[in-house]
Structure 1
Amino acid sequence: MEDYEVFVPFQSLQALECHVDAICRNKSAGDTCSTAVHDFEGDQTYSEKMGHDFKLTTNFKDTDASSYDDLVIHGGLAPEYLALDQDVIKLVKHLMDAGKPITSICHGQQILSATGVLNGKKCTACPAVKLNVVLGGGTWLEPDPIDHCFTDGNLVTEAACLAYPQFVSQFMSLLGIRVCF
């Protein structure tokens, strides 16, 4: 998974005093997942560097989707494989059908496309995922500028980490979180 795309939403929600769980297929609470940092090295390519170890808080097999208020789907290379996992598909469909807020970052929309939940939804993603969005029934919103984030109903999507300020703000709105000074 992409380093920023898992740490920023996780830590942002923790800072807002939300209870946050991190799960991964075939891993248990206390296990770690390695992350990668993707650096753009020009207009058409990026490199992948070693990120950090991210500690999981609960077990996927023990996860009861109905007990969660929302879902954050990170990007990176993992969604390419998670989109083939029927248990992941079932979890995402359950939360979307229940109208719970779902946020998806960059390549995470590959999972949304595989579930069929993009049908009739407007969303953006990493430009390389445009075909997945369109074939999944979604209406493609060009991520221009790249730091723009979109909300359609209970779905928030972004293309790249530059959109995190909008992403966190729009996600907070869906969750009914307000910061007062």
Structure 2
Amino acid sequence: MSGKRILMIVGDFGEDYEIMVPFQALLAVGHTVHAVCPDKTAGDSIATSIHDFEGQQTYSEKRGHNFALNATFAEVDPARYDALVIPGGRAPEYLRLNAKVVEIVQHFFAQAKPVAAICHGPQILAGAGVLKGRTCAAYPACKPEVELAGGVYADIPIDGAVTDGNLVSAPAWPAHPAWIAQFLKVLGTSISHSELSKAA
């Protein structure tokens, strides 16, 4: 089976792991991933941030890597993509103000295409008005936004994920194994493991 064409919407100070890990993991299993950011073109970079859980009342934040974009936002036609990934971090709070970002998200839901959102990513979904009646996990501080948008907040462990139809969501980067596995299932991606024969 040929790989899917996946769009990833990112922005400055998106969460480092939540951008890097799914981007690389999806490429590794044979999918095409185009990472885009409003007002930026292929070859530009965004600054990421690292959010960690170090015992305070909320996560700490540190400067992460520079992440190179491999596609141009202005050229995005969502009809040409099979799925969408929305990482978390600080970027979603302002990306949801971009009219084209909202239109892109609405396209994927209208066409029931696979969508993966994590951490603060559901802020974009709430802003796009696509959560009504949908079960969605998010960083706990985003619970009011999920519920005010008509969604059902999934109160699950920080390393858990939930699938509701075409939407796969999770609270934060510790959930990557569950989140990516569930997203691959929704994409129809199967990975087989063969045991090496033991030498005599």
Q: After TM superposition, is the score higher than 0.5?
A: yes
1:41 to partner: Cα distance: 2.5
- Give the counterpart of 1:139 among 119, 132, 152: 152
1:43 to partner: Cα distance: 4.3
Given residue 169 of structure 1, which amino acid in structure 2 is its aligned partner?
A
Unaligned runs of 5+ in 1: none
Tell whether 2:96 aligns with 1:70. no
Distance 2:56 2:136 in 1: 23
Given residue 123 of structure 1, which amino acid in structure 2 is its aligned partner?
C
SS in 2 for 1:119: coil
1:39 alignment partner in structure 2: 52
Q: Which has the higher helix share?
A: 1
TM-score (norm 1): 0.97
Tell whether 2:177 aligns with 1:165. yes
Distance 1:46 1:166 in 2: 21
Distance 1:41 1:86 in 2: 36
SS in 1 for 2:67: strand
Which aligned pairs between 1:93-104 and structure 2 lie closer than 5 A?
A: 93-104=106-117
SS in 2 for 1:22: strand
1:23 to partner: Cα distance: 0.2
Q: How many residues align?
A: 180
Per-residue CA deviations over 1:102-126 (Å, capped at 9, x if unaligned) read 0001000000001111001001100
Residue identity (%): 49
Distance 2:40 2:92 in 1: 16
Which aligned pairs between 1:10-159 and structure 2 lie closer than 5 A?
A: 10-143=23-156, 145-159=157-171
Q: Which of structures 1 and 2 has the bigger CA Rg?
A: 2
SS in 2 for 1:4: helix
Per-residue CA deviations over 1:16-58 (Å, capped at 9, x if unaligned) read 0111100000000000001110122314122211111101011
Q: Which aligned segments of 4 or more residues in structure 1 are displaced greater than 6 angstroms?
A: none
Per-residue CA deviations over 1:92-145 (Å, capped at 9, x if unaligned) read 0011111110000100000000111100100110000000000011011112x2
Unaligned runs of 5+ in 2: 1-13, 194-200
SS in 2 for 1:36: strand
